[in-house]
Structure 1
Amino acid sequence: MAYHENSRKTFSAAGIIPADSLVKLTASGIDVCGAGELPLGVTETGARMADDPVSVRMLNTPGTVEVVASAAITAAQLLTSGANGSVVPCSGSAPVVGMALCTAASGGIVELMPMCVPTLSGE
């Protein structure tokens, strides 16, 4: 099995994917995450059509990533996946994908420190 010492990997797009989106791995390739889904990583560039190559920064990457927010976000909030590959403040038992390092309005870009906590059950 291959092992790569790199925080990025190129995948084939399952369809149109905007830049700065949370993505998941599917049988058809990389696709945008829906609300509450656990992402593989974040796109740095988008895909204009299916089968386009897409560079994905994995969630286990060192450093930070930028992601589109689909709700108002404040610094230090835990975030989860929202609709269309975006992030929203985490609530309930949704999987945590990272912590906001800045504030962002809905539709803006938020800097995210990636972390992967599949559920927050019991809180």
Structure 2
Amino acid sequence: VFGSVWTSLPFAVLMIAGALQGTPDALIEAARDAGASTWRVVWQVLLPMAATPMVIATTFTVIGVLGSFTVPYFTGPNAPTMLGVDISKYFQSYNRPQQSTAMAFIVFAFAAAASVLYLRSTVRSNARELGKGPR
């Protein structure tokens, strides 16, 4: 888990920091003029403005972890193997195609769920920019 966080965190922080810096100063100043505290500015101005980039960063991180897919096996035996190697072994060496198909389907389902979140966020962001979607 520490290795995965170590490799994924810098990219996610870079994307989220860029989104937070892209927040117009006028919005923050308007909230301050209205008497908002620092926490209220963060929760009601900064986080909603950075929601789409945070979803994108989370999606890329999830897909990256699924791509390497060593994290679930760190809790297993002393010499963990990557999931792709295990799926191949179950299919070819152990002659258990049902287990390999089930594992592949579960990985695909996780990746598809992360992709749906990404696409939903992108479509909503584009609709907002065009003025046709929910605000």
TM class, shorter-length: under 0.3
Larger strand share, 1 or 2 = 1
Larger helix share, 1 or 2 = 2
Using the size of structure 1 for normalisation, the TM-score is 0.19
Q: Whose Rg is larger?
A: 2
Using the size of structure 2 for normalisation, the TM-score is 0.18
